[in-house]
């Protein structure tokens, strides 16, 4: 898997004239990587992810996945949004299997896949439950299972934990890091949360606002002993250095 965003700009036409949301964005994600784009509100993060998802098209530049230009949504890119986007009338299992059903995967095979991915996100016991019976964090885990069930080349995550309370958010961050390590899923995630980005990503692009431009690319390397412990890592000198640098970049 090789995702490339090449010199992408996006201009919106608004009632107050043209608005340049993204300017000359170039980035890449390789197989198995966990990459975060961090930016403040209005820096164009959602716009960028929508372009990668193929939900909208760039004004200039191109987005390429494994040599093919993105011209619309595709199963090779799985999406997880901030708002829970589960179908309320479907059970958890049916939500996870929905994409497989659309693809025409036979019922028996579908059941196997659904079981597998529910197990991956630790929700086997809730297969028959309905979304309204689950907490926010659990619903987001179902959404992740649903995206993974389609076996995308890359998982695109738009502030997936933005709507969760602090405790649930921390649990989900730890969960996602473990899931990424175990499944070797390629992930591109956008967030405004600098600490979240440093904890999760191997590489971070910092997006500054008006217009959205990439001002920095940072490789993250944290000491093995604390890298997977969200609380310990926040006191690590290296972590604090990254945080200071990114916070400074965001203020530019
Ligand atoms: N469809 C649209 N039409 C016009 N302007 C838009 C549209 N979508 C986004 N914008 C503008 O583009 C800019 C970037 O918006 P975007 O939602 O991508 O930012 P963001 O970084 O995701 O912000 P937030 O973190 O607050 O969600 C904003 O100024 C926004 O008003």
Query: How many Cβ atoms are within 10 Å of 183's Cβ, its own excluded?
Result: 14
**pLDDT-derived band at 251, boundaries 50, 70, 90:** confident
What atom of ligand 1 comes closest to residue 207's alpha carbon? 21
Strand order in the sheet with 17-30: 17-30, 2-14, 60-65, 68-69
ipTM of the complex: 0.96
Over range 111-140, report the average pLDDT: 95
Tokens standing for residue 98: 């929905």
Over range 125-130, report the average pLDDT: 97
What is the Å distance from ligand 1's center to 20 Cα?
A: 10
CB of 8 closer than 8 Å to CB of 21: no
Residue 11's pLDDT is 98
Q: How far, in Å, CA of 206 to CA of 218, rounded?
A: 8
Per-residue pLDDT reduced to its tens digit, 167-212: 999 999 999 999 999 999 999 999 999 999 999 999 999 999 999 9
Residue 252's pLDDT is 76
**pLDDT-derived band at 124, boundaries 50, 70, 90:** very high
**pLDDT-derived band at 44, boundaries 50, 70, 90:** very high
Which residue lies with its CA nearest to atom 1 of ligand 1? 12
Per-residue pLDDT reduced to its tens digit, 222-243: 999 888 999 999 999 999 999 9
**pLDDT-derived band at 154, boundaries 50, 70, 90:** very high
The answer to whether residue 84 scores a pLDDT higher than 80 is no
Q: Is 71 in the pocket of ligand 1 (CB under 6 A)?
A: no
Residues 6 or more apart whose Cβ sits within 8 Å of residue 108: none
Over range 72-87, report the average pLDDT: 92
Which residue, 82, 72, 38, 19, is CA-closest to 203?
38
Which residue shows structure tokens 């659309």? 102
Average pLDDT, rounded, for the chain? 95
The answer to whether residue 83 scores a pLDDT higher than 90 is no
Which residue shows structure tokens 């589960």? 86
Q: Is 44 in the pocket of ligand 1 (CB under 6 A)?
A: yes
Over range 123-138, report the average pLDDT: 96
Which residue, 65, 73, 70, 91, is CA-closest to 146?
91
**pLDDT-derived band at 111, boundaries 50, 70, 90:** very high
Q: Is 39 in the pocket of ligand 1 (CB under 6 A)?
A: yes
**pLDDT-derived band at 33, boundaries 50, 70, 90:** very high
Residues 6 or more apart whose Cβ sits within 8 Å of residue 26: 5, 6, 7, 8, 61, 214
* Backbone φ and ψ of 79, nearest 5°: -115, 140
């Amino acid at each position: 898997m090789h995702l490339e965003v090449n010199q992408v700009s996006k201009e919106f036409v608004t009632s107050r004239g043209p608005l340049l949301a993204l300017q000359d964005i170039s980035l890449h994600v390789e197989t198995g990587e966990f990459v975060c784009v961090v930016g403040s509100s209005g820096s164009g993060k959602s716009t960028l992810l929508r372009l990668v998802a193929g939900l909208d098209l760039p004004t200039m530049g191109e987005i390429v996945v494994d040599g093919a230009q993105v011209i619309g949504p595709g199963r090779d890119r799985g999406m997880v949004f901030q708002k829970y986007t589960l179908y309320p009338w479907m059970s958890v299992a049916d939500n996870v299997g929905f994409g497989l059903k659309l693809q025409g995967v036979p019922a028996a095979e579908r059941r196997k896949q659904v079981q597998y991915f529910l197990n991956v996100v630790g929700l086997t016991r809730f297969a028959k439950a309905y979304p309204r019976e689950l907490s926010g964090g659990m619903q987001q885990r179902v959404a992740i299972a649903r995206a993974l069930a389609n076996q995308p080349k890359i998982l695109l995550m738009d502030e997936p934990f933005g709507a969760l309370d602090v405790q649930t958010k921390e649990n989900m961050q730890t969960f996602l890091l473990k899931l990424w390590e175990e499944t070797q899923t390629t992930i591109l995630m956008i967030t405004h949360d600098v600490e979240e980005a440093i904890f999760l990503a191997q590489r971070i692009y910092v997006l500054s606002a008006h217009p959205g431009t990439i001002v920095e690319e940072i490789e993250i390397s944290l000491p093995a002993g604390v890298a997977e412990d969200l609380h310990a890592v926040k006191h690590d000198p290296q972590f604090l250095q990254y945080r200071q640098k990114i916070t400074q970049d965001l203020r530019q």
